[in-house]
Chains A and B, each alone.
Chain A
Amino acid sequence: MKKTKHLFVSMLLMGMGLETAQADYTLNLVQGSTQLSHELYDLHMLILWICVFIGIAVFGTMFYSIFHHRKSKGHQAAQFHENTTVEIIWTIIPTLILVAMAIPATKAVIDLDHVQDSDMSIKVTGKQWYWEYEYLDSGLRFESHLDEASEKAHRVSSIDPRSVPNYLLNVDKPLVIPVKKKIRFLFTAGDVIHSWWVPDLGWKKDANPGFVNDAWTSIDKPGVYRGQCTELCGRDHGFMPIVVIAMEQDQYDAWVKSEIEKQAKGPDLDKHTRSDLLSKGESVYLRNCVACHQIDGKGISGWYPALRGSAKVTGDTSQLMGFIQAGTSKMPAFKKLKADELATLVTYLRNSPDLGNSVGDETQACQALSLDDLDDLYPDIDNAPQLCKEFGEVKPEKVVSEKKD
């Protein structure tokens, strides 16, 4: 009995497995989840069928001729070489077909262009190699990077990409939008040209540095929609996906509220264990540093310097933190890192076996906090965590003093 059950379950699983296998790839364009994407899908199918029809007619004629009008069958060559009537006909018929195609196409162009009367606006900034989203109404703002599992899988050859769910199509922080609301997107870029494409929305739009493009969507049903950057933007162009989660308005409102609270919260100044610091530091590294300095910290010769065994990394901690915050002509200034992120990052940089460094120290969040920041967070120093009061007088000051520019 148990065996029968087992067999039944495994057969069921196999059946489901097959089903997933079939759903794995598609041959045609997605219908998408907006009215606009359906309109574009229909237009796509219309033109496809027109092409198939013309193809059958032309290739049919040609292959009939190839089979019947051959010398080996004793066919005698006719010598005609002109027929004005026929030529006029096969100029006019395609023209009419094109006009017929142009009418729905024109309507679709107008619909695509209609960004007015939107309910909310989201600014999307493409950067090498992640997306930055800013909700213009609520002021919510965050970065969206390739998720850690994919990031590691494509960089470490021993990890099988097939074992990673949504390999290369998953992000650490998806864009969340409400359904059935007209959303206007504004696109720009921070460095080179990127292009934002979610097939289910029916379009892509280039993000040009120094200029703003717009587009709109209104998603019908809740769901997770995935896409990718579609304009070559440098070495990690293939590794900056897009995930859009559409949810009902009330869920969305709750999400915004919790995100705004999270955003307002200061750095986590609690003391953490060394292994905690290291694992959190790895996340910060994967988000911010790995694209250039690589997973093994060896950098790219001729492009990006190595962190492995670098004196800058293994030398003075406060100088290192100052350096990270200041940036260089090539490296952006990572002022956006909160004190806890900076602390875990330097701990990771100096001690991770992945990077081949083993200084043997650790840095707590308080040590990465400048006095100014401490002042802002705790106008009354007595309320600050004990640790910060201890460290507060020495280390953070150096971070400020080491700033470049």
Chain B
Amino acid sequence: MASVVAEHDDHHDHHDHGPEKGLLRWIITTNHKDIGTLYLLFALVMFFVGGTMALIIRSELFEPGLQFVDPQFFNSMTTMHALVMVFGAVMPAFVGLANWMIPMMIGAPDMALPRMNNMSFWMLVAGVLLLAATLFMEGGAPAGGWTLYPPLVLQTGKALPFAIFSVHMLGVSSIMGAINVIATIFNMRAPGMTLMKMPLFVWTWLITAFLLIAIMPVFAGAVTMLLTDRFFDTSFFNAAGGGDPVLYQHIFWFFGHPEVYVMILPTFGVASTIIPVFARKPLFGYASMVYATAAIAFLSFIVWAHHMFTVGLPIAGELYFMYATMLIAIPTGVKVFNWTATMWKGAMTFETPMLFSIAFVVLFTMGGFTGLMMSVAPVDFQYHDTYFIVAHFHYTLVPASVFILMASGYYWLPKWTGNMYNEKIGRLHFWLSAVSVNILFFPQHFLGLAGMPRRIPDYAIQFADWNMVSSIGAFMYGFSQLLFVWIVIDTIKGGVGKATDEVWEDASKHGLEWTVPSPAPYHTFTTPPEIIPTEHL
């Protein structure tokens, strides 16, 4: 019965819907592939915008003394770099992947709510543009850190209400995207695609979507309270009126901790998708991967105050949040062991997506180790708010999320464009990135342990050497990313030749997306696929 209905739809599609001609196609499109492309390109542009801000920061920190920017602008840069990278680059990039790949991975013709899909993308663009506009307002962009802690953030100039409204728009956009992902996965899987047969990327995105729906309203609430504190004389966070500035931190991190997992869970999903293909082996421990992801997501809601160990928590709070945070190491460890076991006794080849994925496993684990160190509350009294934590979260975001986004690009570009990318340049891009990212972030561990606080525009002389090394790494890393842009353009133009439908050896055993032609036609799976490959079995 289901297939009859599907065929009927198919009939309509072929007659009524092709891509619009011209630029209008990209504005009014409701096609999941078009919207996925828009998200990915937007994220790539924002990656370079945020990266430019990072290079401004690293330029100022190249040497002791203030050389290039005013301290206030420096603070704006650290704040905007984080906001742009989190809300403009990493999250949209994963939403782009979700748009492109989830329907193709579960054998669905499109996302469940295509018009809302279009709206959530353009809302994102509006939100990010509004945020960027604050750079040009009187008093400058927000400079209180991406966490927007009061009372400091309330000292922002004209930009404050605009930044808050921008957060609202980004939140609405994320929530709509998340609803769409959930609706699609729950309603549009091809017959036979049971939940426990879904590719890990789909699973991790399903869980991520629930996280987003739970946390974005919390963040919206927190910034709304900032708005009323500043403009309507409320005192949520003002002690003089009976409020508490630390209350904001509790609310923020109730959002903020799951938020960082929003960026890492889909990363896990892509890694679990790519590694088996190039190890030519099924993913080890599929079920435990799913359960571990769910466990991490659950734990992410009950550990928030580990960002606040030095804020003056009662001892019971310190102990509880320490124990709960330590627990995260267990499911995360299971994931790392599973990836290692997937490689074990495989027949590995090392194309660019695999290289990035292996680097992800190694470097993310290093970020995990420092995370474990910081979970120990008493020692966090030393680590907190130093470059040690800067090193920690950049290890879990740059050589983890960003590396996996690069891996995704190389892995699926042939399917998206129908052309093969230049493997030599891809590998060059990988090796430059992998080496420079460590030159960039590893010395920051030393700086933090030696006593350099984060978010300072100038520093004592004993921090000079490693800061210089770190800045050199930053410029190497930043400029080597231009190779990726070159590859994307080159591949769209034709690359090194046509890609096969399967692209990677035996890939069709691992995912439905490899059973459709390359490039993927505008509409795929208008008829649900009959054979569900059970790639993990």
Binding site for B on A (CB under 8 A): 24-30, 39-40, 43-44, 47-48, 51, 54-55, 58-59, 61-62, 65-66, 69-72, 75-83, 86-87, 90-91, 94-95, 98, 101-102, 105-106, 108-113, 153-155, 157, 160-162, 166-169, 187, 191-193, 195, 197, 199, 202-206, 208-211, 213, 227-239, 300, 302-303
Contact of A40 among B157, B319, B382 (CB under 8 A): B382
Q: Mostly helix, strand, loop or mixed at chain B's interface? A: helix
B465 to chain A, nearest CB (A): 5
B173 to chain A, nearest CB (A): 27
* B75 lies within 8 A of A235 (CB): yes
With A40-B379, A112-B381, A206-B310 as given contacts, are A235 and B71 in contact (CB-CB < 8 Å)?
A: yes
* A79 lies within 8 A of B281 (CB): yes
B98 to chain A, nearest CB (A): 25
Set of chain B residues within 8 Å of A232, measured between Cβ atoms: 75, 144-145, 149, 152, 454-455
Set of chain B residues within 8 Å of A231, measured between Cβ atoms: 385
Q: Is B223 positioned at the interface, with any CB of A under 8 Å from its CB? A: no
* B334 lies within 8 A of A167 (CB): no
* A191 lies within 8 A of B151 (CB): yes
Contact with A along B335-350 (1 / 0, CB 8 A): 0110011011111111
Give the docked Cα–Cα distance between A77 and B344 (Å): 9
Q: Is B333 positioned at the interface, with any CB of A under 8 Å from its CB? A: yes
> Which B-chain residue is minimally distant from A203 (CB atoms)?
B381
* B327 lies within 8 A of A98 (CB): yes
Give the docked Cα–Cα distance between A230 and B311 (Å): 12
Q: Is B373 positioned at the interface, with any CB of A under 8 Å from its CB? A: yes
Give the docked Cα–Cα distance between A238 and B319 (Å): 31
Set of chain A residues within 8 Å of B72, measured between Cβ atoms: 234-235, 300, 303
Set of chain A residues within 8 Å of B466, measured between Cβ atoms: 25
Give the docked Cα–Cα distance between A65 and B71 (Å): 49
Contact of B373 among A47, A62, A112, A195 (CB under 8 A): A47
* A77 lies within 8 A of B280 (CB): yes
Interface residues of B in 44-78 (CB under 8 A from A): 64-67, 70-72, 75
* B378 lies within 8 A of A40 (CB): yes
Of B24-32, B208-216, B362-370, B523-531, the one touching chain A = B362-370
With A58-B336, A192-B155, A303-B139 as given contacts, are A229 and B453 in contact (CB-CB < 8 Å)?
A: yes
With A51-B373, A82-B284, A94-B330 as given contacts, are A24 and B340 in contact (CB-CB < 8 Å)?
A: no
Interface residues of B in 162-209 (CB under 8 A from A): none
Q: Is B113 positioned at the interface, with any CB of A under 8 Å from its CB? A: no
Q: Is B246 positioned at the interface, with any CB of A under 8 Å from its CB? A: yes
* B537 lies within 8 A of A81 (CB): yes
> Which B-chain residue is minimally distant from A23 (CB atoms)?
B462
> Which B-chain residue is minimally distant from A113 (CB atoms)?
B315
Give the docked Cα–Cα distance between A95 and B466 (Å): 35
Give the docked Cα–Cα distance between A112 and B489 (Å): 56
Q: Is B265 positioned at the interface, with any CB of A under 8 Å from its CB? A: no
Contact with A along B418-452 (1 / 0, CB 8 A): 00000000000000000000000000001001110
Give the docked Cα–Cα distance between A227 and B333 (Å): 36
> Which A-chain residue is minimally distant from B342 (CB atoms)?
A81
Q: Is B384 positioned at the interface, with any CB of A under 8 Å from its CB? A: yes
Of B33-41, B237-245, B253-261, B473-481, the one touching chain A = B237-245
Set of chain B residues within 8 Å of A235, measured between Cβ atoms: 70-72, 75, 143
B329 to chain A, nearest CB (A): 6
Interface residues of B in 255-298 (CB under 8 A from A): 279-288
* A95 lies within 8 A of B65 (CB): no
Give the docked Cα–Cα distance between A227 and B280 (Å): 53
* A193 lies within 8 A of B460 (CB): no
Give the docked Cα–Cα distance between A230 and B389 (Å): 12
Q: List 18 A-B contacts (CB under 8 A).
A: A30-B450, A30-B451, A44-B382, A55-B365, A55-B366, A58-B340, A59-B365, A62-B343, A75-B347, A77-B280, A98-B327, A105-B378, A110-B315, A192-B155, A204-B382, A206-B312, A238-B458, A303-B72
Set of chain A residues within 8 Å of B507, measured between Cβ atoms: none
> Which A-chain residue is minimally distant from B358 (CB atoms)?
A66
> Which B-chain residue is minimally distant from A236 (CB atoms)?
B71
Set of chain A residues within 8 Å of B465, measured between Cβ atoms: 24-25
Set of chain B residues within 8 Å of A70, measured between Cβ atoms: 347-350
Q: Is B1 positioned at the interface, with any CB of A under 8 Å from its CB? A: no
A146 to chain B, nearest CB (A): 11
Known: A160-B65, A192-B155, A234-B72. 16 other contacts (CB 8 A): A47-B372, A65-B346, A69-B344, A75-B345, A82-B284, A102-B322, A110-B315, A112-B378, A154-B66, A157-B66, A168-B64, A191-B151, A193-B151, A228-B456, A232-B454, A239-B71
Give the docked Cα–Cα distance between A105 and B140 (Å): 43
* A28 lies within 8 A of B449 (CB): yes
Set of chain B residues within 8 Å of A109, measured between Cβ atoms: 315, 318-319, 322, 377-378
Set of chain A residues within 8 Å of B532, measured between Cβ atoms: none
> Which A-chain residue is minimally distant from B445 (CB atoms)?
A27
Set of chain B residues within 8 Å of A302, measured between Cβ atoms: 138-140, 157
Q: Is B100 positioned at the interface, with any CB of A under 8 Å from its CB? A: no
* A167 lies within 8 A of B460 (CB): yes
With A76-B347, A162-B64 as given contacts, are A43 and B379 in contact (CB-CB < 8 Å)?
A: yes
> Which A-chain residue is minimally distant from B287 (CB atoms)?
A82
B243 to chain A, nearest CB (A): 8
B367 to chain A, nearest CB (A): 11
Give the docked Cα–Cα distance between A154 and B71 (Å): 11
> Which B-chain residue is minimally distant from A227 (CB atoms)?
B451
* A72 lies within 8 A of B349 (CB): yes
* B446 lies within 8 A of A25 (CB): yes
Contact of B461 among A94, A102, A161, A208 (CB under 8 A): A161
Give the docked Cα–Cα distance between A166 and B246 (Å): 33
Q: Is B463 positioned at the interface, with any CB of A under 8 Å from its CB? A: yes
Q: Is B459 positioned at the interface, with any CB of A under 8 Å from its CB? A: yes
* A210 lies within 8 A of B244 (CB): yes
Set of chain B residues within 8 Å of A90, measured between Cβ atoms: 333-334, 337
Give the docked Cα–Cα distance between A25 and B349 (Å): 42
* A81 lies within 8 A of B381 (CB): no
B61 to chain A, nearest CB (A): 11
Set of chain B residues within 8 Å of A44, measured between Cβ atoms: 373, 379, 382
* A169 lies within 8 A of B315 (CB): no
Contact of B157 among A91, A153, A303 (CB under 8 A): A303
Q: Which are the 7 A-B pairs with shortest beta-carbon distances? A: A210-B239, A238-B456, A108-B378, A203-B381, A213-B312, A51-B369, A77-B347
Give the docked Cα–Cα distance between A227 and B381 (Å): 13
> Which A-chain residue is minimally distant from B330 (CB atoms)?
A94
* B240 lies within 8 A of A210 (CB): yes
Set of chain A residues within 8 Å of B379, measured between Cβ atoms: 40, 43-44, 47, 105, 108
* A199 lies within 8 A of B451 (CB): yes
> Which A-chain residue is minimally distant from B328 (CB atoms)?
A98
Set of chain A residues within 8 Å of B349, measured between Cβ atoms: 70-72
Contact of B460 among A29, A166, A195 (CB under 8 A): A166
* A211 lies within 8 A of B239 (CB): yes
With A112-B381, A230-B386 as given contacts, are A43 and B376 in contact (CB-CB < 8 Å)?
A: yes
* A101 lies within 8 A of B376 (CB): yes
Q: Is B483 positioned at the interface, with any CB of A under 8 Å from its CB? A: no
Give the docked Cα–Cα distance between A91 and B463 (Å): 40
With A28-B449, A47-B376, A81-B536 as given contacts, are A62 and B319 in contact (CB-CB < 8 Å)?
A: no
Set of chain A residues within 8 Å of B450, measured between Cβ atoms: 25-28, 30
> Which A-chain residue is minimally distant from B318 (CB atoms)?
A109
Set of chain B residues within 8 Å of A112, measured between Cβ atoms: 378, 381
A197 to chain B, nearest CB (A): 7
* A210 lies within 8 A of B334 (CB): no
* B329 lies within 8 A of A203 (CB): no
Interface centre among A80, A209, A238 (most CB of B within 10 A): A238
Interface residues of B in 290-330 (CB under 8 A from A): 310-312, 315, 318-319, 322-323, 326-327, 329-330
Give the docked Cα–Cα distance between A162 and B468 (Å): 15
Give the docked Cα–Cα distance between A69 and B157 (Å): 59
* A168 lies within 8 A of B319 (CB): no
* A66 lies within 8 A of B315 (CB): no
Give the docked Cα–Cα distance between A87 and B288 (Å): 8
Give the docked Cα–Cα distance between A113 and B318 (Å): 10
